[in-house]
Structure 1
Amino acid sequence: MMCSTVKKGVVMGYGRKRVLIIGGGFGGLFCARRLGRADVEVTLLDRGASHVFQPLLYQCAAGKLSTGQISRPLREELARHANVTTLLGEAVDLDPDARQVIARRPDESTFTLRYDVLIIAAGMRQSYLGHEEFAHWAPGMKTLDDALNVRRRLFGAFEIAETLPPGPERDAWLTFAIAGGGPTGVELAGQIREMATRALAHEFHSIEPEDARVLLFDGGSCVLGTFAPELTDKATKVLQKLGVELHLGVHVTDVRHDRVTVTPKAGGSPEDFATRTVLWTAGVEAVPFARRIAKVLDANSDRAGRIAVEPDLSVPGHPDIFVIGDLAGRDNLPGVAENAMQGGLHAAACVRHDLAGKPRRPYRYRDAGSAAYISRGHALLQVGPVKLAGVIGWLAWGFIHIAFLSGLENRISTLATWLGTIARVHRTDRTFILDNTPSAEHSYSWLKFMHPNMLHATRDGGQANPPH
């Protein structure tokens, strides 16, 4: 006799094929949506329980958008699909013979999830290129926590500078260094300068926010190296006009609490820059679970951890396991949202074809183009032969991002916010919190003064002194 359960008035037998999706990003969400009406049981496991629109994280960090405008609870997003269950947890291990995944709850306890089809859409995390110690002083831009951490550092730096007399210490707080000249690095650099010259320009008494320096470091010969040369030239001119200082052909080789060191790629003497705010956008790598499954499945992977897959995105020798999005290592697939979306839809189509007894089709990525926002009225958009810049690129960029935001309410709210910033310079989501949590991620914290013994040591073994 088949076991069954009741969910939202629907009787669902456990005899139905079980599809387990790891990750609630673009790939996982689009896959779950497409399977929402299929004759399968879908479980979506995510460590944050929300879908985050990562391309707009930097706007959240810069105070333009709130976390609620760029994210939506997965339960709410998938509520209308009776056969989809969402769970909070982080996948940590895989048993392919038993077809089960071990997941960890936030309290460190674990639970087991069984599957018939496993879809890995866990995405990538920030890579520090072998220097994990940089993470304390140089946060990345991959999660909502990252965006709020960066917001705290950006606005906190101006506030701290206001309390200091003119001199090198104040100058260091008003210097912002960014490692990586790709879209995220360029977008952050443009936003910081725009913030300093417009939103904060007339709010301080002791400092001049527009004097803030923004240093952008990259190992290439130009910023936005994946864009057409004419677009990178335009981006360079806009950044320089904004006041961003470009340092190309260099690698960031050391990050400390009060400075960053860069070394010429072609060789030469290292150079130090005094700064109290370093942001890291240079490189990504696979999440730990992806490296674990590559080992368990004896699958080939590249240096960044991307897993080699068959033409249908399944793992060789394991047709019941798919890898999609940033983690799929095939045909130089780009690590962009469009690839994840298309991969999620493809994996769902393969599941449907299997149910219908039809052969799977190979995955074909359709390039939807690239975009980068620099500042108000300046954005780049490249779609095949179409190349847009300036105001037209900015309008096209906004239309595309509004279209892909999850939830009608988020689209309307974000559009209203952007329209508001056109009419006035103020940013509506600048609130930041000086946390009382004793963790390395929260560098600006009152806790070190309330409980000095809980202050962690710096890389040099020293401790900050409490105020007199």
Structure 2
Amino acid sequence: MAVGVHRVVIVGSGFAGLFAARRLEGAPCEVTVVDRRTYHLFQPLLYQVATGILSEGDVAPPTREVLRRQPNARVVLGEVVDVDAAARVVTARSPVGETALGYDSLIVAAGSAPSYFGHDEFAVHAPGLKSLDDALEVRGRIFGAFEMAESEPDPERRAAWLTFALVGAGPTGVELAGQIAELSRQSLRGRYRAIDPATARIVLLDGAPRILPAFDERLSARAADRLRELGVEIEPSAMVVGVDADGIDVQGSDGARRRLVTRTKVWSAGVQASPLGALLARRAGAALGRHGQVEVEPDCTLPGHPEIFVVGDLMSLDGLPGLAEVAMQSGLHAASEIDRRLGGDPRPRRFQYRDLGSLAAISRGYAIGQRGRVQVWGRPGWVIWLTVHLVFLTGFKSRVAALFHWVFSLFGRARYEQSTTLRQVTARTASPSRPG
């Protein structure tokens, strides 16, 4: 690295981190992107990896590939374990040891993780859907459930394998429910001999009184109607209070508890900030919000540390939601602030979020969307959803591959990403493998 060149360290290669890095292309600085993964994850499409539509490569292009034509950017694989705000040094740990990365400007975009509301033990039997590992695990559990049902002679145990419980009725839960319904009713038709996949139960639960609470009530109702047409059972005002290998315990609005026997559970009921937020709070005197997000100034910097930006899901500012669009725009804002400073303009600019609307794909050919008072649903909504996701997918190869899979999904029943092993079926509860 050239002596005297402004050093920018970006923690995280998600939407916020990657958009920040690309915004600094051509700027008079050296950019280092550090992350514990070597790819940029298009998180909104993880549910399609989990249901066999897309491959992991379609939603996770290598970060080095994305930044290959940006000479002032480099990538470091490692997990950030310390931030020394006084010395302006980030420490990243990898199998080869610890690496100290000095910085003049720091952008922290470490993202978020599933929240089990104080019951982290639920994760063993009900994985979230926030990472590529999660998506592959959930895919193994979903397709593996049909395989286990095919081999299970006992009717009650077979029914348990063919019952899918999705906890959380936000966009992820709703989209996953719709895809599992289509998978069982259409894509897997005629694939098995001892079972009929169409008899599978898909149960969508949420503590809120309706699904998709961030959307207008009318759109939420349309989405619910579409899910019911697909055979999804919707249970609002249902709190999950227990999770184990054989099922979940549900508490209704009247306080009564009941048991849902199911071997396949997926959790999308809440998120919490990356643990890096708590580290920043200790090392830089930052304050934390309700879900562990770091409270920032209007320009996304830490109070007392104008050289440190916190963006994306990790920041707490004006009640902004943890959406991909917020991450993209805040990452761009942080990079623009650094670029302006390097150009001789030190005045901070307030981050202004532009709400471009929300979309959710309920099933193939059917999506809902809203922006302000404008609402769309059905096939027009799906076309808009398709266009937006193609635009924001990173890399030409990813766009072509995704479009190919979507076309086949829309006009046919094929899903090519169904590979499952016995170990993936049991996932985190698997026992050590034996030779032979």
TM-score by length of 2: 0.97
Mapped partners of 1:216, 1:195: distance in 2? 16
Measured after TM superposition, the shift of residue 431 of structure 1 is: 1.2
Q: Looking at both structures, which has the greater relative contact order when contacts are Cα pairs under 8 Å and sequence separation is at least 6?
A: 2
Q: Are residues 1:337 and 2:321 paired?
A: no
CA apart distance, 1:110: 2.1
**Correspondence for 1:51:** 40
Deviations 1:368-410 (A, max 9, x none): 1111111111111112222110111111101100110000111
Residue type at the aligned position of 2:225: K
Specify the alignment match of 2:102 in structure 1: 114
5 Å-filtered alignment, 1:227-376, equals: 227-264=215-252, 266-358=253-345, 359-376=347-364
Q: Which amino acid aligns with 2:220?
A: T
Measure, in 2, the Cα distance between the counterparts of 1:135 and 1:366. 35
CA change 1:97–1:190 in 2 (3 A) is: same
Distance in 2 (CA, whole Å) between partners of 1:244 and 1:177 is 10
What is the CA deviation profile of residues 332-388 of structure 1, one whole-angstrom value per residue up to 9, with x for unaligned ones?
111111111101110011001111221221100000111111111111111222211
Provide the secondary structure at the position in 2 that maps to 1:450: coil
Query: Does the C-alpha gap of structure 1 residues 449 and 95 become closer, same or farther in structure 2, counting only changes over 3 Å?
Result: closer
- 1:254-306 CA-to-partner distances (Å, cap 9, x unmatched) read 10000100112x34221110000010001111111111111222211112111
Q: What is the match of residue 456 of structure 1?
A: none
Which residue number in structure 2 is paired with residue 211 of structure 1? 199
2:30 is paired with a residue whose SS is strand
Q: For residues 188 and 205 of structure 1, what CA distance do their matches in structure 2 show? A: 25
Aligned AA for 1:209?
P
Structure 1: gaps (5+ residues) = 6-12, 453-468
Matched, 1:24 2:8: no
Report if aligned partners of 2:137, 2:424 keep a CA contact under 8 Å in 1.
no
Identity of aligned residues (%): 46
Q: Secondary structure at the match of 1:406?
A: coil
Is the 1:353–1:360 contact (alpha carbons within 8 Å) kept by the matching residues of 2? no
Correspondence 1:425 to 2:413: yes
TM-score, L = length of structure 1: 0.90
Unaligned residue ranges in structure 2 (runs of 5+): none
Counterpart of 2:320 in structure 1: which amino acid?
A: L
The DSSP-based 3-state class of the residue aligned with 1:51 is coil
CA root-mean-square deviation: 1.6
Deviations 1:27-83 (A, max 9, x none): 000000011110001000011110010000000110000011111000010011111
Report what 1:192 is aligned to: 180
Cα gap change, 1:248/1:96 in structure 2, threshold over 3 Å: closer, same or farther?
Answer: same
Give the AA of the match of 1:28.
G
In the alignment, the residues of structure 2 paired with residue 281 and residue 300 of structure 1 have an alpha-carbon distance, to the nearest angstrom, of 26
Aligned to 1:93: 82
Please list, as runs of the form range in 1=range in 2, the aligned pairs for 1:114-133 lying within 5 A after superposition: 114-133=102-121
